[in-house]
Chain A
């Protein structure tokens, strides 16, 4: 029996990895949102001085990584692993940023759940004794995601009420085996849940069952109740997904209504900024958690949070071939 595993899918870190540095960089629209103050850098435009949006996204990721390294106060050369991912084919933003950073690299794909998945993996590496410092990062960009998953930018499309707006930004953290800062204490790896939702303009509904499943597994494995967390943060369920998530949890006898919030609803002023059902993208959970929530924890208003970052594991090919959208949710608990 694995000594650090608890229950079905949860890991308890014996020596909880410490988040010693964070970096968050966002695009102009996120910079006009309610959390603007907490981001480390806001870009003046979507291109970041590059000639393609893909290059812009890569630069965002590098920038966030550099800020996190700088804030951690350690030398880049001391970092043992770089765990990163993004939404693009062959995760080029992550791989190409690794080319620049020259740190041993592990590319991961978990769609919009990447930030929690990467943090969980980084924490396992550290707690397992395989590294002292791990850099975790992920990014997304509205233009690159639209181009890959939907339509050309200038195309005439009327966005649906249920569709979500991809966050432009990147978030990064440096995890360390010791030091001061918030600690990653638990990680619950989600399983893929697919209840047959096929609408690619309603990601929230596709991912809500996965988020709920992970929450229930986490609570069962740890013996915690939802009230023991100051905040249960879902990644990017949006307004529809959040409601479904709360209802599904209630149905299973778990009331999260009071301390549940959704990153996809926090980063934008949904009505004024006209983002449909909310935000989405790898960067959504990353910049809200690494930028805003961790700063709130430092300010002392939050002590213990559970992040369930959610991902829709579809590809443009799979939904054109009529397949439903598999969802996943990865949970990490962070405590000060």
Chain B
């Protein structure tokens, strides 16, 4: 069941992204920023969590989930250790992914060339 919901919800978010690309003159870059900001705002106000509990990966994997994760880390850490935690926590859930992105992209660049 988790799979079906993740598929449907995640697919729907991507579908909406596609509609934005096709119906407006926003570039993919603008669309992704928009999605991230929406996710981050919802996450910051604690509204993304219920959605995440329901759709699981369907809410986590789209870039909205990335934004929400930044906000969630920020908020959790602030609640634990005060205002400074806002910044300590920003990469709590996303830092691992970012490190992976930097590290393995560099490895990829070392061994692979652009092709097509």
Q: Do chains A and B touch in the complex (CB under 8 A)?
A: yes
On A, residues with C-beta under 8 Å from B are 143, 152-154, 156-158, 199
In whole angstroms, how far apart are the Cα atoms of A231 and B25 in the complex?
37
State A143–B116 Cα separation when bound (angstroms): 8
Flag if B21 contacts A152 (CB, 8 Å): no
CB pair B115–A154 under 8 Å, yes or no, is yes
**Cβ B115 vs Cβ A157 within 8 A:** no
**CB atoms of B114 and A157 under 8 A apart:** no
Spell out B's residues near A (CB within 8 Å): 21, 25, 28, 114-116
Task: Name the one of B21, B115, B116 contacting A158, with C-beta atoms under 8 angstroms.
Answer: B21
Complex CA–CA separation, A153 to B114 (angstroms): 6
A199 to B27, CA, bound (A): 11
Q: Which residues of B contact A199 (CB under 8 A)?
A: 25
B25: which A residues are within 8 A, CB to CB?
Answer: 199
Known contacts A156-B28, A199-B25; 11 further A-B pairs (Cβ under 8 A): A143-B114, A152-B114, A153-B114, A153-B115, A153-B116, A154-B114, A154-B115, A154-B116, A157-B28, A158-B21, A158-B28
- With the chains together, A158 CA to B25 CA distance in Å? 14
List 11 interface pairs A-B (beta carbons < 8 Å), by A numbering.
Answer: A143-B114, A152-B114, A153-B114, A153-B115, A153-B116, A154-B114, A154-B115, A156-B28, A157-B28, A158-B21, A158-B28
Please, which residue of chain A has its CB at the minimum distance from the CB of B112?
A: A154
In the complex, which residues of chain B have a beta carbon less than 8 angstroms from the beta carbon of A154?
114-116
The CA of A156 and the CA of B25, in the complex, are separated in Å by: 18
A154 to B113: give the CA distance in the assembly, Å: 9
Q: How far is the CB of A281 from chain B (nearest CB, A)?
A: 17
Chain A: CB-nearest residue to B18: A158
Residues of B close to A156: CB separation below 8 A: 28
CB distance from A202 to the nearest CB of B (A): 11
Min CB distance A294 to B, Å, is 31
In the bound complex, CA of A149 to CA of B78 (Å):
43
- Residues of B with C-beta under 8 A to A152: 114
In Å, the complex CA distance between A157 and B114 comes to: 14
Complex interface: chain A residues within 8 A of B21 (CB): 158
Give Cα A283 to B114, complex, Å: 22
Measured in the bound complex, the distance between the Cα atoms of B114 and A261 in whole Å is 34
CA distance A156 to B31 in the complex (A): 13
A143-B114 Cα distance, complex, nearest whole Å: 9
Q: How far is the CB of A39 from chain B (nearest CB, A)?
A: 21
Closest Cβ–Cβ distance, residue B30 to chain A (whole Å): 12
